[in-house]
């Protein structure tokens, strides 16, 4: 078994059941015949299997990580398995830091990458399809209440390195942006007063608080900025391939049945 493929490593029963359920929903949405219908006519000889694609996931929980046992874990690891099953395309996973993944995508060293939609990626790759819409929020120190971005003028706001999150936030030079290397580091710096606020994907904030043994009271009330698509990007030379087009169709199913949200909710349950 290839350790870089989507079927590498053990999969927890609950995640497998949820993933299989979503695959079933996706097949129905794509128009697959149900067991109750008459059997279709004999199919023509099967087409050759689709060529595999390499897929970079950002190595950061809850999205993707390598466990101490050498398995792959994370919401997007599970989503990759669903995409592979729906599309029939074998996905060879690489867990990378954002900067390295973006560089490899630009150079054609990987075929695809999942990331929040960002202008930096739009310049070097093609948006294949959205996977979900992610809420973007900013939280301050405990007990604080932010009314708008104007409240952050002259303040130091932590953001995950290379993250854009929201165009207004990214373009506001009156806000001092401080790059961090992880969600946990962002919250730790906020808690000790080195940051005034932190910008987050809402689901990642909730996961990180839980993983640190903290409640929502550990941060201020969230200021909702809007949503940003979690997007599957493809190298421009890969977009026209049959495998990429099959993957695009599978992404539409994942988006429609809200697979990312369901998997995130499961981890918080």
Which pLDDT value is given to residue 93? 97
Number of domains the chain is built from: 2
Structural domain includes residue 35? no
CA–CA separation, 18 and 71 (whole Å): 19
- 76 and 60 in a single domain? The answer is yes
Q: Is the dihedral of CA 153, 154, 155, 158 positive or negative?
A: positive
Which pLDDT value is given to residue 50? 73
- 208 and 235 in a single domain? The answer is no
Is residue 48 over pLDDT 80? no
27-45 residue pLDDT tens: 555 554 433 334 444 544 5
Task: Find all residues with CB under 8 Å of 96, minimum gap 6, and list them.
Answer: 56, 57, 58, 59, 104
143-170 residue pLDDT tens: 999 999 999 999 999 999 989 999 999 9
Compute the average pLDDT of residues 96-121.
96
Structural domain includes residue 198? yes
| Residue 152 domain boundaries | 134-227
Reduce the secondary structure of the chain to three states and give it as a string.
CCCCECCCCCCCHHHHHHHHHHHHHHHHHCCCCCCCCCCCCCCCCCCCCCCCEEEEEECECCCEEECCCCCEECHHHHHHHHHHHHHCCCEEEEEECHHHHHHHHHHCCCCEEEEECCHHHHCCCEEEEEEEEEEEEEEECCCCECCCHHHHCCCEEEEECCCCCCHHHHHCCCCEEEEECCHHHHHHHHHCCCCCEEEEEHHHHHHHHHHCCCCHHHCCECEEEEEEEEEEEECCCCCCCHHHHHHHHHHHHHHHCCHHHHHHHHHHC
- 70 and 189 in a single domain? The answer is no
Q: What is the CATH number of the domain that holds 22?
A: 3.40.190.10
Tell me if 67 sits within 8 A of 10, measured CB to CB.
no
Please, how many CA atoms are within 13 Å of residue 193, restricted to the half-sphere of its CB?
0
- 83 and 175 in a single domain? The answer is no
Structural domain includes residue 41? no
Q: Is 18 or 235 the better-scoring residue by pLDDT? A: 235
Structural domain includes residue 111? yes
Structural domain includes residue 86? yes
Lowest mean pLDDT among 29-38, 178-187, 225-234: 29-38
Is residue 76 over pLDDT 50? yes
- 110 and 234 in a single domain? The answer is yes
- β 65-66/72-73 pair status: antiparallel
Compute the average pLDDT of residues 198-216.
97
Is residue 191 over pLDDT 90? yes
Compute the average pLDDT of residues 263-268.
91
Percent of the chain exceeding pLDDT 70 equals 82
- 107 and 206 in a single domain? The answer is no
- 72 and 84 in a single domain? The answer is yes
- 143 and 129 in a single domain? The answer is no
Tell me if 195 sits within 8 A of 158, measured CB to CB.
yes
pTM of the model: 0.83
- 23 and 100 in a single domain? The answer is yes
Compute the average pLDDT of residues 236-241.
94
Tell me if 110 sits within 8 A of 187, measured CB to CB.
no
Structural domain includes residue 93? yes
Tell me if 93 sits within 8 A of 2, measured CB to CB.
no
Tell me if 158 sits within 8 A of 219, measured CB to CB.
no
Which pLDDT value is given to residue 25? 54
Task: Find all residues with CB under 8 Å of 109, minimum gap 6, and list them.
Answer: none
Q: Is 22 or 92 the better-scoring residue by pLDDT? A: 92
- 59 and 125 in a single domain? The answer is yes
Structural domain includes residue 262? yes
Tell me if 213 sits within 8 A of 102, measured CB to CB.
no
Structural domain includes residue 56? yes
Two structure tokens written together for 94 = 């690489």
Which pLDDT value is given to residue 108? 96
- 176 and 60 in a single domain? The answer is no
- 219 and 144 in a single domain? The answer is yes
CA angle (119, 220, 201) in 5-degree steps: 30
115-144 residue pLDDT tens: 999 999 999 999 999 999 999 999 999 999
Is residue 178 over pLDDT 80? yes
């Amino acid at each position: 078994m290839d350790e870089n493929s989507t079927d590498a490593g053990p999969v927890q029963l609950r995640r497998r059941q949820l993933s299989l359920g979503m695959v079933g929903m996706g097949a129905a949405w794509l128009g697959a015949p149900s067991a109750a219908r008459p059997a279709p006519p004999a199919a023509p000889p099967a087409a050759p299997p689709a060529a595999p694609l390499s897929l970079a996931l950002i190595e950061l929980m809850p999205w993707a990580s390598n466990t101490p046992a050498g398995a792959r874990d994370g919401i997007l690891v599970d989503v990759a398995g669903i995409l592979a099953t729906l599309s029939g395309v074998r996905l060879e996973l690489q867990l990378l830091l954002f900067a390295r993944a973006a560089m490899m995508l630009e150079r054609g060293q990987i075929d695809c990458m999942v990331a929040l939609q960002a202008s930096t990626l739009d310049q070097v790759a093609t948006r294949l399809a959205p996977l979900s819409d992610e809420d973007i929020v900013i939280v301050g120190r405990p007990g604080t209440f932010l009314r708008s971005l104007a409240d952050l003028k002259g303040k130091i706001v932590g953001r995950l390195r290379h993250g854009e999150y929201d165009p207004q936030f990214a373009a506001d030079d009156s806000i001092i942006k401080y790059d961090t290397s992880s969600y946990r580091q962002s919250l730790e710096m906020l808690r000790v007063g080195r940051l005034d606020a932190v910008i987050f994907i809402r689901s990642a904030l909730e996961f990180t608080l839980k993983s640190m043994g903290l409640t929502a009271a550990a941060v201020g009330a969230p200021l909702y900025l809007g949503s940003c698509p979690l997007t599957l990007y493809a190298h421009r030379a890969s977009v026209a391939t049959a495998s990429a087009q099959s993957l695009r169709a599978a992404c539409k199913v994942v988006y429609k049945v809200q697979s990312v949200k369901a998997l995130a909710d499961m981890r918080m349950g």
